[in-house]
Chain A
Amino acid sequence: MHSPMEQFEIKRLLDLKIGGLDVSFTNSSLWMIIAVILATGVFVVGMRQRALVPGRLQSVAELGYEFIAGMVRDNVGDQGKKYFPFILTLFIFILFANVLGMVPYSFTPTSHIVVTFAMALFVFVGVTLIGFARHGLHFLSLFVPKGVPFVLLLLLVPIEIISYFIRPFSLSIRLFANMLAGHTMLKVFGGFVVMLGIIGGWAPLAFIVVFTGLELLIAFLQAYVFAILTCLYLNDSIHLHH
């Protein structure tokens, strides 16, 4: 019986080293590249005709574009336009990585904390820099809630600061843990199907079918949550709590 964690192992497909840095092409790299190629296929090949009446693939590309454009517009406003390509990329990358992870024998790059944490940290550092660049030291007023008595501030400001610095962790662990838990659960129940065999294996198999649907929903939902939280953090940096 294989361990349910075996599916998360990084396998080096091509050992590469540049100046002591391990840059091996792994199964994770492979599926990241596949995600990028497929996303490029939808968004560039799909948009090649630039038809006024879109075909199927172009409709998908436009749907994704308008979905994220609406999200940025509603949550950040006009100043968010500059960051729209980044948020679109973030959403599409996570979405494709998550959904491709549902393909049997594939690999889910977003099930690794180091990948999700790198993205979350980039967002965190990015919005913090944007905040300081836009407001200077006034950006620190983000930690001071308005209209609160001084005594309460002594309590609230540390809480605000802690919750601010927790953001990259909550953002990365949410995505990573959802992918990890979902895939582990599927694997565990897959194991039950084999263990119970032809007689009792139908019940976990039915569960797997239902749970696969739920996992597809979660794959989308986590990409959406990551993108919308990025929008909200960006909004905080640009508008300082309105």
Chain B
Amino acid sequence: MRIPVYSALAGGLVAFAVCGTAAAKPAGMPQLDYHSFAPQLVWLVIAFVALYLVMSKLAVPAISDTLDKRQAKIQYDLDAAEKANEATRAQVAAYQKQLADAREEARGLLRGQAEADSGLAAARFTELADRLNGRIAEAEKRIAGQRDVVMAGLEQMASEIAQSAYAKLAGQPADASVLGTKVAAAAKETSR
């Protein structure tokens, strides 16, 4: 316990002070002069009550009011800062979302363009191939027709050569129709 320690200490100090006084001035300590008690107590009450009134009526309300106002101001500022912080965060989030959307859109556009490009190329390629095939087919048809003509001419020539050869060998003109069918048959066989 602190109080007994303090009391002992205080008692010791008093004893010291009293002894010191007794040695210095036998008349005693001014503190023990009871004639001075009344004015001290009266003025203590006056001073203390005055200070109490000043403190309780003026100082304490003024200070507590100021402290409350300051606390309210600090709280208000903190709230405002918190709100601003949230707004900023929301804006940043919105901005980032926009950025991401734009990026996605750009990627989509690029992909669509590439697809369109490749489709067009394929279509052109097919068209070109068709045209080439058509020309090839046409050319083949023409070649086949010319070959037929050539072949027909060849048959005619072969039959004429056969007639003249038969006339020279047999000494008489050959039957043109019989010879013609035979040449045609031979021509067919060789062409196969």
Contacts and interface: CB of A to CB of B under 8 A. Distances in A.
B7 to A, nearest CB: 4
Contact of A44 (B3, B13, B40, B54): B54
Interface in B25-64: 25, 29-33, 35-44, 46-48, 50-52, 54-56, 58-60, 62-64
B150 interface: no
A86 B52 contact: yes
A163 B3 contact: yes
B60 A88 contact: yes
A211 interface: no
Prevailing SS type, chain B contact patch: helix
Contacts of B7: 166, 169-170, 173-174
B83 interface: no
A22 B17 CA distance: 28
Interface in B1-17: 3-4, 6-7, 9-11, 13-14, 16-17
Given A10-B33, A86-B56, A174-B9, 7 more contacts: A26-B43, A36-B51, A88-B60, A89-B52, A174-B6, A174-B10, A181-B13
B73 interface: yes
B59 A50 contact: no
Given A22-B38, A43-B55, A85-B60, A52 B66 contact: yes
Given A166-B7, A177-B14, A118 B44 contact: yes
Contact of B24 (A4, A39, A92): A4
A110 to B, nearest CB: 10
Contacts of A93: 47-48, 51
B141 interface: no
A111 B63 contact: no
Given A3-B25, A114-B31, A173 B14 contact: yes
User: How many of chain B's residues touch chain A, expressed as a range?
Assistant: 35 or more
A32 B43 contact: yes
A29 B33 CA distance: 16
A40 B54 contact: yes
A181 B17 contact: yes
Interface string B65-77: 1110110010000
A62 B25 contact: no
A25 B39 CA distance: 7
A23 interface: yes
A21 interface: yes
B39 A24 contact: yes
Given A47-B63, A173-B14, A112 B40 contact: yes
B47 A32 contact: yes
Given A5-B24, A39-B51, A163-B3, A180 B39 contact: no
Nearest to A180: B17
A177 B47 contact: no
Contacts of B13: 177-178, 180-181
B114 to A, nearest CB: 65
A64 to B, nearest CB: 9
Contacts of B65: 50
A10 B36 contact: yes
Interface in B64-102: 64-67, 69-70, 73
Given A40-B54, A170-B10, A10 B20 contact: no
A65 interface: yes
A192 interface: no
A73 interface: no
B113 interface: no
B70 A52 contact: yes
Interface centre among A35, A54, A169, A174 (most CB of B within 10 A): A174
B173 to A, nearest CB: 144
A186 interface: no
Nearest to B29: A5
A224 interface: no
A190 B10 CA distance: 23
B16 A181 contact: yes
